[in-house]
Amino acid sequence: MKTFNIKTENNLLKKRNSIKLNLFEYTKKNSSFLGSCLSCLDVLIYIYYYKYDLCSKKKFRSRFLLSKGHAAPTIYSILYDKKIISKKKFFSKYVYWHPNKNIRTIDFQTGALGHGLPVSIGMAKFYLKNKCNNKIITLLGDGELNEGSVWESLFLAINWKLNNLIIIIDKNKYQANDETDKVLKINNLNKILKNLGFQVLECNGHNFKNINDQFKKIKNSKPVIIVANTIRNYGIKEIQNKKDFWFFDKSDKKISLLKT
């Protein structure tokens, strides 16, 4: 069993810096939904570099689906760092704002919101039927919870007892250009999810130790939802936690904030 210690945390922090630089370079070249990319960056670093082997070439490996597809440049930045995407491809039109299924380890073309969870349910059920111990992990945005298909799928996950499914909600409290609570508020989200039958965990989505502490609590007896409290545009003080800069245009004057 892997141990998570100060060294692990430091390694992940180093990764955060290098992946963030990749993301900035990407944004300067192609623009991006940077607010969304940065809010889930740390959670993705944790699952890609510490918790799961998501890039193995094995047929049955743990799989990750980015349901909030517009954060794809974060995945591209990680895969570039892992040398799955070449430098040439990373700076080409091959990697657009949503996941490109032609890239190894990107298992499904998402982008339209509300698709990743149903597909993950199918994968998780298939793994259970095949007695495969690996996990299916999917990351949703909190705004994505507006989608009806998400709720359909939550019912299925509970009814089918998908204890190999890990749903992460990137709760950055914004959707598009406004606050999620102002657009379509969901009162008592955690309570609703618990009442549906999920194991619900909550973490600070920018604190690796805290993320790890919550992942350690996963019981494997029922499907789990980890609500990651995150910050839009985390790490860029001038624009973080603001409703603007969901999308960061490469021609915007504030592009200089993305220091390399």
Partner 1 sequence: MNKYEKFLIKEVKKKNTFVLTAENLLAIRNLGRKNILDVGICEQSLIGVAAGMAKNGGRCYVHALSNFLICRAYEFLKIDLDYNNCNCVLVGSMGGVQSTFNGPTHQAIDEMSILENFNTFDIFFPSSIDEMTNILSKFKFNKTIYARFNQKTNQEIGIKKKDVTNNFLLKQGKDLIISNGIVISYLYKLINQDKELKNKYSLFNFSYINKNNFSYDIKKFLNYKKILIIEDHLENGSIYSKLKVLISQKKHKNKLKAINFGKKYFSTNRETIDIFQDLGITKKNLLNFKI
Give the residues lining the site for partner 1 (CB under 8 A). Answer: 59, 101, 107-109, 111-112, 114-115, 117-127, 129-130, 148-149, 152-153, 155-156, 160
Closest Cα partner for 110 from 153, 64, 174, 172? 64
Q: Which is closer to partner 1, CB of 109 or CB of 241?
A: 109
CB 71 within 8 A of CB 36: yes
Amino acid at 177: N
Nearer to partner 1, 26 or 198 (CB): 198
The least distance separating partner 1 from the CB of residue 256, rounded to whole angstroms, comes to: 37
Closest approach of partner 1 to the CB of residue 103, in Å = 13
Which is nearer to partner 1, 12 or 224 (by Cβ)? 224
Distances (CA, A) of 183 to 173, 174, 188, 253: 10, 9, 16, 28
Of 95 and 156, the one with the shorter C-beta distance to partner 1 is 156
Closest to partner 1 by CB, 109 vs 210, is 109
CA distance 155 to 162: 11
* Min separation Cβ 117 and partner 1, Å: 7
User: Please, what is the minimum distance in Å from the beta carbon of residue 68 to partner 1?
Assistant: 15
H-only helix segments in 52-207:
72-81, 87-90, 116-129, 148-159, 180-184, 189-196
Least separation in angstroms between residue 26's CB and partner 1 is: 23
Which of helix, strand or coil describes residue 135?
Answer: coil
- At closest approach, how far in Å is the CB of 33 from partner 1? 19
Report the nearest approach of partner 1 to the CB of residue 125 (Å): 7
Contact 129, 136 (CB under 8 A): no
Identify which of residues 116 and 205 has a Cβ nearer to partner 1 in the complex. 116
Return the number of the residue (111 or 141) whose C-beta is nearest partner 1: 111
Helix (H, G, I), strand (E, B) or coil at 101: coil
Residues 6+ apart with CB under 8 A from 209: 4, 9
Core vs surface per residue 89-106: b (16+ CB within 10 A) or e:
bbeeeebebbbbeebebb
Our CB check for partner 1 shows the closer of 130 and 188 to be 130
- By three-state DSSP, how is residue 193 classified? helix
Q: Considering the complex, what minimum distance in angstroms separates the CB of residue 240 from partner 1?
A: 32
The two structure tokens encoding residue 219:
């019981």
Burial class (CB in 10 A: 0-12, 13-18, 19+), 184: exposed
